Amino acid sequence: MAQTALILYNKLSKIPKDDEADVIEQVNLVTDALKTLGYEVLYLQIDLNLKKAISGIRSIRPDIIFNLAETIGNKGEFTFLANSVLNFVRTPYTGSPLIPMFQCSNKLLAKKELGKIGVKTPAGFMLNECGKLLPDRKYIIKPIWEEGSLELDEDCVFLGSDKNFIKKIEQKSRDHYFIEEFIEGREFNNSILYSESGPEVLPLAEMTFKGYPEGKPKIMGYKSKWDDKSFEYSHTRRTFQTSKADEQLRDRMVEICKKCWNEMGFKGYVRIDFRVTLDSEPLVIDINLNPCLSESGGFMAASKKRGLTFPQVVTRIIADAIR
């Protein structure tokens, strides 16, 4: 008798944006992979009615739950709630556990946890700490909770001397936004996948910004990822070509990725984003637990570069869930 796999995913808004609707492609891809692996596949949407989700899981009694719930109600504050439900029902589920999911869904808390294990990030400031900003440095205002580069674009980058901009951001909610030093250097995405011998860091991907005019911030914002009619989307490229000179930098980022995985309790699959300073210091700018598994996304691009098929990736994600 075939084992049952339940795909849990977030119920979409009535008019979902591309970053939210992307989960449907992931559901379809994971479904095909699970069926290839011999699973009977069932589905459950999750929203803020958590009792309904708990009841649904208990009535299905799956052998494994593949967690594709990115947010609930498309609100970053609710990202970890699906993990809370899964932790409560005590059924094996894919991806990282509840505690690291909560820590990394809040960017400020993630920075603190990284600091505790000796991993460097750009300098961060609360909105009431604008007096600490240096006038000749660039900074970026970031949402504390949101993922998928929501509310993140070049208009978020400003100089520490821009008093008018600072006056505006000081009026924003301190519970929802913070300030981080904007690192002008190169940007890398590092995808990590479970293996029997420990976390495997997949081929290193650099995000390049082609033809950007002088002064235009080079940033992987919402337009770069989701607006296929924008300049940013068409002029941002992912490359896996690294030079001999990058070997030491690559080794350092691999070391950091494994340290984060082991010491922060990650599981399954993760993507960690870096900016590299002009003196070649890699700084973590974001941690994506359970990153997007769509074919155009960075994680699957790195998996394909390693030579892994989608079913092979799913097999390894499940293996970490049930061990």
Q: pTM here? A: 0.93
Query: What is the pLDDT averaged over residues 223-228?
Result: 78
pLDDT, tens digit, for every residue of 167-184?
999 889 999 999 999 999
Quote the DSSP letter at residue 36: H
Domains identified in the chain and CATH numbers:
4-93 (3.40.50), 104-113+184-204+240-322 (3.30.470.20), 124-181 (no CATH)
Q: Are 94 and 87 in contact (CB under 8 A)?
A: no
Could you tell me which of 10, 147, 149, 25 has the C-alpha nearest to residue 83?
10
Query: What is the pLDDT averaged over residues 111-133?
Result: 96
pLDDT surpassing 70 at residue 148: no
- In single-letter form, the type of residue at position 284 comes to V
Could you tell me which of 8, 3, 14, 34 has the C-alpha nearest to residue 310?
34
pLDDT, tens digit, for every residue of 236-282?
889 998 788 899 999 999 999 999 999 999 999 999 999 999 999 99
In this structure, what are the phi and psi dihedrals at residue 50, rounded to the nearest 5 degrees? -70, -30
Q: Which residues, at least 6 apart from 211, have a Cβ–Cβ distance to it below 8 Å?
A: 235
